[in-house]
Amino acid sequence: MNSALQSMTRSSLGSPLVRERVHISPIGSRAFLIEAPGGFDLATQRRIWALTQDVGHWDDVIETVPGMTNLLAIFRVVPEDPQAVVARLSNAWDLAQSVDLQGKTIEIAVTYGGEHAIDLGALCNLSGLRDREIIRIHHEGTYTVFALGSAPGFGYLHGLDPRIHMPRKTVPSLKMEKGCVTIGGMQTGVAVLTGPNGWNSIGFADLPMFDPTAATPAIMAPGDIVRFIPERIEL
């Protein structure tokens, strides 16, 4: 039996396949950043969610902060042997299975175009699409909340159609309004604060993403599904 066939046979019998190595970096003295190999996709994020649950149960870990295909693990005390911690986290990644979080569905009414769509024209120029086509592609998408971060309640949404990907600005807008519906690279989201913002605005949503007085301040949570509903189109 040749080596290729032997490899296929071992895989078919259920032996684990070789996985790409995870990258782990110390952040300060008590925290470690675990960065998943591979692409920006749902399969990778599901393993990050699984790793978050596993590492979160360790007695010596005080907090876990999942991000976009990465995880920050914060330990209670400074580890005596940081390399042992790296090896332990690497092994945990290798063993992590996929977790499919069952989140809620959130519908966000959007005014596309209008005064807040300050970057819609630039996206038309970049994509070669008309403004109405960009809006249709955006609101017909179904998005998964990968993580919260950057600002309180801001959800990083996966699922943006590649036809309307747009790089973040090299010079941010100095005062983008809270509620602007934005595109940044392969992601979309809703601005939760008014201020400097390097994402590209194509519309506006009145629904607040974060309420510090609420029992659950952030509307979004990892695993939620987001749909954008075109309430008005102003072109």
The pTM for the full model equals: 0.82
Q: What is the pLDDT of residues 152-209, one digit of tens each?
A: 999 999 999 999 999 999 999 999 999 999 999 999 999 999 999 999 999 999 999 9
In the chain the domains, ranked by start, together with CATH numbers, are 20-95 (3.30.1360.40), 105-234 (2.40.100.10)
Q: Is 188 helix (H, G, I), strand (E, B) or coil?
A: strand
pLDDT tens for 137-146 read: 999 999 999 9
**Cα–Cα dist 19/198, whole Å:** 35
Are the beta carbons of 116 and 233 closer than 8 angstroms? no
CA distance 87 to 59: 17
